[in-house]
Chain A
Amino acid sequence: MTELTLAKAITTGLADALEADDRVVLLGEDIGKLGGVFRVTDGLQERFGIDRVVDTPLAEAGIIGTAVGLAYRGFRPVCELQFDGFVFPGFDQVVTQVAKMRYRTQGAVKMPITIRVPFGGGIGSVEHHSESPEAYFAHTPGLRVVACSSPQDAYSMIRQAVESDDPVVFFEPKRRYWSKGEVVTDVSAVPSLDRARVVVPGTDVTLVTYGPLVQTAVDAALAAEDDGVSIEVIDLRSLAPLDEDAIVDSVQKTGRIVIAHEAARFGGIGAEIAAMVTERCFDRLTAPPLRVTGHDIPYPPSELEDHYLPDLDRMLDGVDRVMGVRV
């Protein structure tokens, strides 16, 4: 067991994946000598060579599109897209090609491609560097969409993503890159990639979130304890497919649910979960499902991002409302 930052846990996971399978190749902008803009691939090109850790031209469709060709050839490409706001030039290749190739070819051609996307706000950056585009991808059948929240999950999930025969859009909570935690590199006992995890058990309210807000939710649960409210925090880990049973099991116990994410509310992951819980737990609900999310606006200038981002107080406000304490 080693203590690692979340970023270093991914670095370690990628290194171990490169070591374990010589068909794994990394593609991305500045991932070689620089080690990526967040240094997640630091040292990997030096260790594995320029044909395994490939500095690409600055073209996201090119990165994803050539990864499709490499996958056709039997490689297992891992693409790094620098920021959440820069995924869209590659979006067409992801949605029309990566996601559909297995289906289109009736299983003959698999696309074991991992697409890494640092996402979310809270780092005081400029426009297009703080977004949460996960719902666009989660809406697309054929993709697995996951978000890690801790160094251990960062390590385990990147290993599982690279090993998956399905394409995985792998969201990394960039403002948690430097948070530390113990990491075990034996992944034989870790939960599968499509399973949610109960991070804090509780009995009064189910608080569902993922990525950067998991730590916020854990803090909220601790704070609520002082007020005598028991929050069960669920880290979704997989946004698509969704681990519905884990959420339903919790709501059957608590009768209340708050869903939190940084992404805008309309058509978001929270809307899907609220609908699903309403369909499956209607009789058990003692309050309407409630979403604590970003507003339905473009991501604001960073000096104002605190007004946009759900934080601990907004989560507790949501918990109070489903508890009937506030309206």
Chain B
Amino acid sequence: MSATNDRFATSAGLSAATVQVLTEDGRFEPTDAAAEYLPYLDSLTDDDFRRFYRDMVVVRGFDTEATNLQRQGQLALWPPSSGQEAAQVGSAYAAKPQDTIFPSYREHVVATIRGVDPLDIIRVMRGVTNSGWDPTDPKNGNVRVYTLVLGTQALHATGYAMGVKFDGKAGTGSAQSDEAVIVYFGDGASSEGDVSEAFVFAGSYQTPQVFFLQNNQWAISVPVKTQSRTPLYLRSSGFGIPGVQVDGNDVLASYAVTAKQLDEARAGHGPSLIEAVTYRMGAHTTSDDPTRYRTSDEDEHWRGRDPIARMRAFLTGRGVGGEWFDAIDEEAADYSADIRRRTLELVAPAAELIFDHVYSEPHAGMAEQRAWLERYERSFEADVPAGSTTSTQGGAA
């Protein structure tokens, strides 16, 4: 780490203010800061705990498979979610069906929990579509499309939440119909002006929304210390928005904190910020090489805080046996194999589709370019028959 970065030294780790429910070795020992969130765990059953674990394991398997697919030339890029499963599983389960999710581009766990087919994420990263799923289709759980321009989605979420408020769909006291919005972004994106502007608008209009910041310690190669001199959960307080820090590798704490903050939002009590302290165990994307900027000691430290291991220890403590864990591993393997099979079956869409949906109706210039491209590309097909001497369709078109 460079001297420049060291000048900005703040703790990227946890403090007495951090909400934690499970210790690193999986014991249920909530911190004092967790007290006000604990009632949100009361309704969870052992089935829920198992479900949380199952989703973390299955999506990590998918994530690993997708990374491999990229390495094998099947995907253009893959941004791994490995290490961030607890923050995503906990927050995703805290959202109600009527809530709306604005993701960044690493929310594979959130998206799949809400109903998005993981193959639709693969399609984006393979380059067969710019956004893989229809965000207006109910089966996709109100998950809006991935956003690659960092921080822009914070404003989209805030505008959407303003609309919820204009529609009178928050603060009515109805648990079934009051809506909230949750937007995901990272420690790097927190430096974008759009995020600060979203705080301003959210504060001014008291929007029903939660800003969910996954602090995974690294914005590609730049450590969080360069993004902020203060812990990121304090960032929003100057905007009049309360912030809370949670151990993002603790799925129960992530669930409880998000459930409470979303409830507050739905109840019309305004926006809040959650900083989930976690770690990007893999590379930023498959184009990255973390060995150039991270130490193996750091990796080792965070591997010891693996969110899946923590939940497994917790479940083991509650009497879940090895066979059940083996069955989950098997399910994850099948899930990944299915993704691999379907990925290899993907075909590029027809070329003329690149002109679709630029405008609500085609216009003359675009129609002409589409027609030209078709003629041009067909002109090569006309050359295919060896020894052919006569001009064919390409010239005639």
User: What residues make up the interface of A, taking CB atoms closer than 8 Å to B?
Assistant: 25, 51, 54, 56-57, 59, 61-62, 64-75, 77, 89, 92-93, 96-97, 100, 102-110, 141-142, 144, 164-166, 194, 241-242, 244-245
Contacts and interface: CB of A to CB of B under 8 A. Distances in A.
A106 B201 contact: no
Given A70-B159, A109-B135, A62 B197 contact: yes
A144 B359 contact: yes
Interface in B336-365: 356-360, 363-365
B166 A51 contact: yes
A51 B205 CA distance: 10
B193 interface: yes
B163 A62 contact: no
Interface string B117-136: 00000000000011100111
B155 A68 contact: yes
Given A104-B145, A244-B364, A66 B356 contact: no
Contacts of B201: 56-57, 59, 62, 66
Given A59-B201, A69-B155, A92 B130 contact: no
Contact of B159 (A69, A102, A165, A242): A69
Given A106-B357, A165-B360, A241-B365, A74 B131 contact: no
Interface string B164-185: 1011000000000000000000
Interface in B173-231: 193-194, 197-198, 200-201, 204
A61 B363 CA distance: 29
Given A56-B201, A104-B131, A144-B359, A242 B365 contact: yes
10 contacts: A61-B155, A62-B194, A62-B197, A65-B194, A68-B152, A69-B155, A73-B163, A92-B194, A103-B358, A144-B359
A56 to B, nearest CB: 7
B41 interface: no
A244 B200 CA distance: 44
The number of chain B residues touching the other chain, given as a range, is 35 or more
Given A59-B201, A70-B163, A73-B164, A107 B356 contact: yes
B167 A73 contact: yes
Given A72-B156, A96-B152, A242-B365, A102 B134 contact: no
B271 to A, nearest CB: 13
B155 A62 contact: yes
A95 B327 CA distance: 48
A239 to B, nearest CB: 12
Contacts of A103: 130, 357-358
Interface in B349-397: 356-360, 363-366
Contact of A73 (B160, B357, B365, B366): B160
Contacts of B158: 62, 65-66, 69
Contacts of B359: 102, 142, 144, 166, 241
B134 A62 contact: no
Contacts of A97: 149, 152, 156
Contacts of B166: 25, 51, 75
B144 interface: yes
A108 B136 contact: yes
Contacts of B360: 102, 110, 164-166
A92 B147 CA distance: 13
Given A104-B131, A244-B365, A62 B136 contact: no
Contacts of B164: 73
Contact of B156 (A68, A74, A141): A68
Contacts of B358: 102-103, 141-142
Closest 5 A/B residue pairs (Cβ): A69-B159, A65-B155, A66-B159, A73-B163, A69-B160
Contact of A70 (B131, B134, B162, B193): B162
A289 B19 CA distance: 69
Contacts of A65: 152, 154-156, 158-159, 194, 197-198
A164 B164 CA distance: 23
Given A74-B163, A106-B357, A245 B156 contact: no
Contacts of A51: 166
Nearest to B181: A69
Q: Of A75, A142, A144, which is in contact with the most chain B CB atoms at under 10 Å from its CB? A: A75
B69 interface: no
Nearest to A67: B159
A104 to B, nearest CB: 4
Nearest to B169: A73
B59 interface: no
Nearest to B131: A104
B363 A241 contact: yes
Nearest to B136: A108
B197 to A, nearest CB: 4
Given A62-B158, A69-B156, A103-B130, 13 more contacts: A59-B201, A62-B194, A65-B158, A65-B198, A66-B158, A69-B158, A70-B163, A72-B156, A72-B159, A93-B155, A96-B149, A97-B156, A241-B365
A106 B197 CA distance: 28
Contacts of A164: 360
A102 B162 CA distance: 21
B378 to A, nearest CB: 22
A223 B204 CA distance: 55
B157 interface: yes
A62 B195 CA distance: 9
Given A59-B200, A104-B145, A106-B357, A69 B162 contact: yes
A59 B200 CA distance: 9
Given A68-B155, A96-B149, A108 B135 contact: yes
Contacts of B22: none
Given A97-B156, A102-B359, A69 B163 contact: yes
A248 to B, nearest CB: 11
A54 B193 CA distance: 21
Contacts of B134: 105-106, 108
A109 B130 CA distance: 13
Q: Of A59, A62, A102, which is in contact with the most chain B CB atoms at under 10 Å from its CB? A: A62
Nearest to A101: B145
A105 B152 contact: no
